[in-house]
Structure 1
Amino acid sequence: MFRRAFSAAAVFGFSWGGAGQKEQFVLGNEVKMPNISVIRPDVAQKNDVLVSRKVVNELDRTKLNIRLYQYETCPFCCKVRAYLDYHGFSYEIVEVNPVTRSQIKFSTDYKKVPIVRVNDEISLTESSLVVSQLATLLVLPDRTMKEVMSMYPTVEGTDDKGKAVVTHPNKYFVMMEKSLSVADMAAAREEREWREWVDSHFIHLISPNVYRSWNESLETFRWFQEVGDWHRTFPSWERCLAVYMGAAAMWGLSKRLKKRHNIDDERAAMKEACDKWIVAVGPTRKFMGGEKPNLADLALYGAMQSFYGCAAFAECCSSGPISEWYARMKSAVEKREGAYLLAARK
């Protein structure tokens, strides 16, 4: 997996707009106008790391104090951000240095991103698992985060190479405490299947596309530097090292990934995947979730956001039905249309 090959190279770019944006949320007959502010601290607090930005929503009553440790351009991190943004969570972002990873030194046994810290005492890891756990917390407001975590047991095993691995077999499930209708069960099954498809298929197409040549690879990393705000968060020597080492490493790795996943034409494979998604959504639904995005919609949107500034996106995703779906998703996420769940909490 390219996350392990070079930490700086995971792919994404998304940020909120300016501070103080306001959106309307309707709760029954009452219209709420939350103050959404985005703060970008210039210096780190005492005995803390530099927070890249802090998003505050006055309607978030979860009291989770979420902090996301991430690479701005990582598709796995972007899936988590897409979920947090759509639902209007308040949260902090810490950009992890891809060279030193000093910002996550507190995590002694897990050195990948994303890592989500809750109230500075609980660490959530693995992007799809994090999303499922947060989604479960929203639908089960009387449960604590620790109680929700206990619903996702770990299973120890070995991979194809005999290496010990820890998995969560139900990581794509959102837990419910009420019976679902037949239609709701079918929708939940579809959502799980396509969330897994994003992880097991679509994301594997990104690296061969964005690192297809040396020039594309270097262009991609220069874009990473820009959207990741590396000029503000990292010293110049680390930026230079990350850009050129990352571009070289991922250019080479993309060839191996292309072979490993049996990709003959990377652009054609990406277009085929986008077409497959559109067929699955069908002509009568705005989103796979129907009138509103579900977790599968958010997962694919996040993965696509991870390379929106690259040539591959312009060639594969900027026209046709996939671009129309993407535009609807972008609007829903940026308007925080899922924030009604947070606003309804007491």
Structure 2
Amino acid sequence: MRRVNFSGLAAVYRAADGVAAAVSSSHQFAQLALYSSSSNSYSKSRWFFDNYSNMAQKSAFAVAGAVVFSVAASSAADEVYAKEPLPPNVRPDDVVLYQYEACPFCNKVKAFLDYYNIPYKIVEVNPLSKKEIKWSDYKKVPILMVDGEQMVDSSVIIDKLSPKIRPSVAVKPSQEADDEEKKWRGWVDNHLVHILSPNIYRNTSEALESFEYITSHGNFSFTERITAKYAGAAAMYFVSKKLKKKYDITDERSALYEAAETWVDALNGRDFLGGAKPNLADLAVFGVLRPIRYLKSGKDMVEHTRIGAWYSRMESAVGESSRIKS
């Protein structure tokens, strides 16, 4: 496999060395890996770190790969869509989400919890030390604790929670609707997520825009924030080019627009894939798109495709976060 030439980053890394020295660059830290948020997704990109395991600046890459950042914002919709009512007898008593704020798969879990109005607490994990999840054998996020039971991997988490919750709020969907939902949930995990990174790191200005969010919202120390913003943004710009080749993406914006239009076509005139109300596929697409919606890439997506109306309906349907503020 042909290696990426990182000589152009030498000056960036030298400038960041003084800061990066204060950050762990151990092999364990590098195992965050590019997009290692969920085993059903970005952990497959660990090959990149295997190829560059001797780089002194692995910490910057690991911080970069730990998250695909989101800027959470809500916009007014023309029509109000109510959340699904959840009877008290099926609502868990204690739900805790271990997450990276900007992780698309963590956002997918949060979209599910918010829509079904399940109160949950957040533990923001430091992607360097990961001390918040030292107790778990699973060293990635999301991790969801539900009344003392550990659940991992975003799609698996939702698969476990859904049967306990959905029968109480809706009629069981037909086999055709169920198959459609599964098809598009798979499309999210196996296609849509791979388009995000090449778009948000498309050029230096967009990479820095994205890392501005990371440094402001992630659980980082001051020195970690500096390293992430500059060395990480520069590194991920080049990594995104590698990902374009890996996933055979010629034009990242065109790929994003095509994915958005593909989703709108799947709706086939319906408000949601689930019909009058969102189903799990709607929540999955919405969850992973939240990280980019109000970055330049997301704004371009809404401006140049038909997805904006659906997204606004989803914002209204999912509504306010059901997170319990500490």
Q: Is the 8 A contact 2:68 2:103 kept in 1?
A: yes
Once the two structures are superposed, residues 88-132 of structure 1 have per-residue CA deviations (whole angstroms, 9 ceiling, x without a partner) of: 00100111112221111111x32111111123x321111111111
**Structure 2: tracts of 5 or more residues without a match:** 1-33, 37-42, 47-61, 75-80
Tell me what 2:176 maps to: 186
CA distance in structure 1 between the partners assigned to 2:96 and 2:221 by the alignment: 23
The equivalent position to 1:83 in structure 2, one of 97, 100, 112, is 112
Secondary structure of 2:91's counterpart equals coil
Secondary structure of 2:174's counterpart equals helix
Once the two structures are superposed, residues 15-46 of structure 1 have per-residue CA deviations (whole angstroms, 9 ceiling, x without a partner) of: 699xxxxx98897xxxxxxxxxxxxxxxxxxx
Tell me what 1:137 maps to: 164
The equivalent position to 1:214 in structure 2, one of 204, 207, 212, is 204
Change (3 A) 1:211 1:92: same
CA distance in structure 1 between the partners assigned to 2:98 and 2:72 by the alignment: 14
Larger relative helix fraction: 2
Is residue 286 of structure 2 the alignment partner of residue 301 of structure 1?
yes
Q: Is the 8 A contact 1:69 1:113 kept in 2?
A: yes
Matches within 5 A, 1:56-71: 62-71=91-100
Amino acid in the other structure paired with 1:208: P
Is residue 142 of structure 2 the alignment partner of residue 114 of structure 1?
yes
Is residue 250 of structure 2 the alignment partner of residue 250 of structure 1?
no
Bigger mean CA deviation after superposition, 260-269 or 96-105: 96-105
Q: Is the 8 A contact 2:257 2:304 kept in 1?
A: no
Q: Is the 8 A contact 1:60 1:89 kept in 2?
A: no
Matches within 5 A, 1:48-59: none
Matches within 5 A, 1:127-166: 127-139=154-166
Q: Is the 8 A contact 1:14 1:72 kept in 2?
A: no
Larger relative strand fraction: 1
Question: How many residues are treated as equivalent by the alignment?
Answer: 258
The equivalent position to 1:288 in structure 2, one of 273, 278, 284, is 273
CA distance in structure 2 between the partners assigned to 1:103 and 1:213 by the alignment: 33
Runs of 4+ in 1 over 3 A off after TM superposition: 14-17, 23-27, 57-61
CA distance in structure 1 between the partners assigned to 2:106 and 2:201 by the alignment: 19
Identity %: 40
Q: CA deviation at 1:331?
A: 0.6
Change (3 A) 1:318 1:125: farther
Tell me what 2:192 maps to: 202
**Structure 1: tracts of 5 or more residues without a match:** 18-22, 28-56, 142-175, 338-346
CA distance in structure 1 between the partners assigned to 2:304 and 2:197 by the alignment: 21
